[in-house]
Amino acid sequence: MTMVIKPACVCDSGNGMPTPFLRKLEQLGGLSPEDRMAIRLAISHQKVVPAHQDIVCYGDKPKAVSVLVNGLACRYKIMPDGRRQIVSFQVPGDICDLPSLVLGRMDHNVGTLAKCTIALASHGALRELIDTHPRIRDALWRHSLADAAIQREWVSNIGRHSAYQRLAHLFCEIAFRLEPVGLKKADGYEFFATQADLGDALGLSVVHVNRVLQQLRSDGLITFSANTLAIRNWERLQDVAGFSPAYLQPDPSKSGEYGAQLPLRDHYRIERANGSRERGARARTIGPKPGP
Amino acid sequence: MTMVIKPACVCDSGNGMPTPFLRKLEQLGGLSPEDRMAIRLAISHQKVVPAHQDIVCYGDKPKAVSVLVNGLACRYKIMPDGRRQIVSFQVPGDICDLPSLVLGRMDHNVGTLAKCTIALASHGALRELIDTHPRIRDALWRHSLADAAIQREWVSNIGRHSAYQRLAHLFCEIAFRLEPVGLKKADGYEFFATQADLGDALGLSVVHVNRVLQQLRSDGLITFSANTLAIRNWERLQDVAGFSPAYLQPDPSKSGEYGAQLPLRDHYRIERANGSRERGARARTIGPKPGP
DNA sequence: CGTGCCCTTGATCCCAATCAAGAAGGGTGG
DNA sequence: CCACCCTTCTTGATTGGGATCAAGGGCACG
């Protein structure tokens, strides 16, 4: 069912390029050559997992950490009534079960949405790395915090956006996450999620996802078929989504350039008429989800 | 505006009890007496912040970390249209801006909902601690992962629950979070959030929050007035919320007892008629939010 | 003793869920 | 090679949860 691949190909995909994982950690931490070699050695092997299969389950205590090398996976929870809520997507370079390294037990499931390649690193090896390589430790810590930032963004996306905006926002997020691992093409990207998956991620019904996708298409923003998302109007897509990539932490070593990545629209400050210094803990609280 | 308090009272609240912060870290990490003393020394001073004031803002790069000692705060984002989405509540013992210690820049705001007491620990002092005290480092890491777990739960709460369930779920969560810091009474707890705050947290309008609260009350589940939440029927409240405290990581040092905290209802496994080993990546995907 | 803030209630509207059912691949086995 | 089935995508009709609009009441605070 799962075929094991020799370790050699884990970190060099033939042409000498580092895998998405290293590229992502690099982006997070600024690793030294020695750090990179150490990570290479910590990865024991790779395996291929078919689509619609769980990588780790709620309650599991994995003894190794799974890194998504290829494919698409998702974190999800199953509600008491049996419905699924996808809580985030996992793209190549993401660590699926990092929380378990530190917390022990998984509080959610991670499952594949398409055929995936997974690299495994034992907890023991990683703990060793963390204790001896502070930069790796920090990169991993940053990884978990970046994950949390995505979750926060999802809360606000689901809580306060219309279906139209939610989809737009999700497509923007995935675009920005695929870019640093080299999987975003000029006009879009491959995205192996069904409309049902999108619904489960955004708290919508399949039927509605379908209709809203058609509207996004007829509005000339995107096209989505044959597992390919084509972005037709990048500007407007970000605009309707109210999307700002700041929460997808860019390279902290280039923190000087960070500000340059903040679009103007991003300065979501409350400008109160009375010029109060209270900036937002009590903001306008009109109801959610304005129409498109 | 903010009055400084002498450091001595930071870790002993008069009667020799550790503050919520230490109690919480303790719960997360199992600190040695020496660890605890080191943390004590890292905290420079305390201050009092009035209600409806920001502690840190989006885009800030704080040079110290703020620990909530007393009061109620929230993480929140401001949407492009000016509306607010509360992304999580912060109760005593929580670290408001831990992400900034590792990532640098804040991707969201933290504001007070009531008058708060805040303890400050400089980034420099904390980095020192992290490098020299592995247990403290792990406790902090766990703290940020526990935070992420809460965010995940919020996504599923907002994405797949009715208003009735969302409120019930939130009240359960706060109860479980206040307990380890000694702020939960037998029949409820103090909760300084307005109905507007609840709406902004759960993606609901104030009007609807009001009506649903009345229903919860008339159903004999809770009472909520004068900043006090009284839980009338703890069993049923958890039940309608589909609440399981597993995501609020209990003491990992007692991981043996962990399973005991999982109510039976919590085994959200997909039982497929065909007995397939695919457990859930593709679950039933009927639409969201069934009625109460 | 006004003036906000918060809670409350009623009426109406609308976004999105639900129900129902057909069409279009894609794979499998006879 | 075709019949069959399963998954995914579509489309139409209906329903409903919750937003929005509007306005009154309690209460604390300057």
Q: What is the pLDDT of residues B20-30, one digit of tens each?
A: 767 777 777 77
Q: Average the pLDDT over each of A172-181, B169-178, B268-277 and give the range with the smallest value.
A: B268-277
Q: What is the pLDDT of residue B90?
A: 97
Nearest CA in chain A to B88: A152
Identify the CA nearest to B54 among candidates B4, B98, B113. Answer: B113
Q: What is the identity of the amino acid at A184?
A: K
Contact B84 A283 (CB under 8 A): yes
Tally of residues, chain B = 292
| pLDDT tops 90 at residue A196 | yes
Cα(B72)–Cα(B18) distance, rounded to whole angstroms?
19
Interface probe with B: pick from A63, A68, A84, most Cβ of B within 10 Å: A84
Mean pLDDT of chain B: 82
Q: Average the pLDDT over each of A240-244, A257-261, B93-97, B113-117 and give the range with the smallest value.
A: A257-261
CA of B211: nearest nucleotide by C1' is: C8
- For residues B76-82, average pLDDT: 95
Question: How would residue B11 be classed by pLDDT, with cut points 50, 70 and 90?
Answer: very low
| pLDDT tops 50 at residue A257 | no
| pLDDT tops 60 at residue A275 | no
Q: Average the pLDDT over each of A6-20, A115-129, B128-142 and give the range with the smallest value.
A: A6-20
Point out the residue nearest to D7 (C-alpha to C1'). A194
- For residues B211-232, average pLDDT: 95
| pLDDT tops 50 at residue B264 | no
Cα(A270)–Cα(A280) distance, rounded to whole angstroms?
6
| pLDDT tops 70 at residue B35 | yes
Contact A87 B149 (CB under 8 A): no
Contact B152 A246 (CB under 8 A): no
Q: Average the pLDDT over each of A6-10, A256-260, B90-94, B116-120 and give the range with the smallest value.
A: A256-260
Q: What is the pLDDT of residues A93-109, one digit of tens each?
A: 999 999 999 998 999 99
Q: In A113-158, where do the E strands start and end? A: 116-122
Q: Average the pLDDT over each of A4-8, A100-104, B248-252 and give the range with the smallest value.
A: A4-8
Question: Is the CB of residue B287 inside 7 Å of nucleic acid strand C?
Answer: yes
Q: What is the pLDDT of residue A119?
A: 93
Other C-beta atoms lying within 10 Å of the C-beta of residue A80: 17
Q: Average the pLDDT over each of A6-10, A198-202, B149-153 and give the range with the smallest value.
A: A6-10
Chain D: bases < 7 Å from a protein Cβ: 7-13, 16-22
CA of B194: nearest nucleotide by C1' is: C6
Nearest CA in chain A to B290: A81
Contact A278 B54 (CB under 8 A): yes
User: Between A253 and B229, whose confidence is greater?
Assistant: B229
| pLDDT tops 50 at residue B115 | yes
| pLDDT tops 50 at residue B149 | yes
Cα(A156)–Cα(A285) distance, rounded to whole angstroms?
14
Q: What is the pLDDT of residue B235?
A: 95
**A100-112: buried (b, 16+ CB within 10 Å) or exposed (e) per residue?**
bbbbbbbbbbbbb
- For residues B193-222, average pLDDT: 97
- For residues B261-266, average pLDDT: 31
SS3 call for A228: strand
The shortest CB-CB distance from B145 to any of A57, A144, A149 is to A144
CA of B161: nearest nucleotide by C1' is: D17
Read off the DSSP letter of residue A17. Answer: P
CA distances from A101 to A49, A62, A65, A144, B153 (A): 21, 8, 7, 11, 19
Q: What is the pLDDT of residues B183-202, one digit of tens each?
A: 999 999 999 999 999 999 99
Name residue B64's beta-bridge partners: B122
Question: How would residue A165 be classed by pLDDT, with cut points 50, 70 and 90?
Answer: very high
**Rounded CA–C1' distance between A31 and D28, in angstroms:** 58
Taking the alpha carbons at both ends of chain A, their separation in whole angstroms is 45
Interface probe with A: pick from B2, B156, B247, most Cβ of A within 10 Å: B156
User: Which tokens sit at B244?
Assistant: 């399981």
Cα(B210)–Cα(B167) distance, rounded to whole angstroms?
11
Q: What is the pLDDT of residue A1?
A: 41
User: Between B44 and B174, whose confidence is greater?
Assistant: B174
Tally of residues, chain A = 292
Taking the alpha carbons at both ends of chain B, their separation in whole angstroms is 45
SS3 call for B185: strand
**Chain A residues close to B52, C-beta within 8 Å:** 278, 281-282
Q: What is the identity of the amino acid at A219?
A: D
Question: How would residue B263 be classed by pLDDT, with cut points 50, 70 and 90?
Answer: very low
The shortest CB-CB distance from B242 to any of A79, A152, A286 is to A79
Shortest Cα–Cα distance, A260 to chain B (Å): 12
Listed in sequence order, the residues at least 6 apart from A48 whose beta carbon sits closer than 8 Å to its beta carbon are A2, A3, A5, A115, A116, A117, A118
Name residue B70's beta-bridge partners: B117
- For residues A102-121, average pLDDT: 94
Contact A281 B57 (CB under 8 A): no
Q: Which of A18-22, A243-247, B203-207 has the highest mean pLDDT?
A: B203-207
